Amino acid sequence: MERRGSGFKKILADYEGQVEFDETKMPVFEADNDDFTLTLYNLNYGTNYATQVNENVIENVIEISEEKIKKLMPEYSKKKLAKACEILKMISETPNISIDELRIALDVTDRTIARYISELKDKDIIERKGPDNGGEWKIK
């Protein structure tokens, strides 16, 4: 222990530095003879900040991956490029998505989705982590 009571200032400073902080969500310290209680309010409750950040990350991943696909697979038509980008979007939103779920969502045949996945894996754009059942996809 550094100094008795030194953590209070650290807690308050960290809380005040958060994006969603306002005075109504200030930590509450309560003490009596028997107990000490610290109430920390959820700064993200009722906000969609985390969702917005996640959506921005997904869009950035897709844009970067789309550029990578264009460079690595210049032979892809606009239609094929759109399908490949849709695959990447679905993988980034749901990393544990199955090939069958991708096939159904894109309304393509087993062979077509297998070819897309194979080409994306061969060009080192995506990889499979873990087993076929229960693993997940990773966009490189």
The CATH code that applies to domain 57-139 is: 1.10.10.10
* Whether the predicted model's global pTM rises above the 0.75 cut: no
Concatenating the DSSP letter of every residue in 100-117 gives HHHHHHHT--HHHHHHHH
pLDDT at 53: 54
Q: Is the pLDDT of residue 105 over 70?
A: yes
- Domain span(s) for CATH 1.10.10.10 in the chain: 57-139
- SS3 at position 127: strand
Q: Identify the CA nearest to 27 among candidates 2, 8, 55.
A: 8
Amino acid identity of residue 17, one-letter, is: G
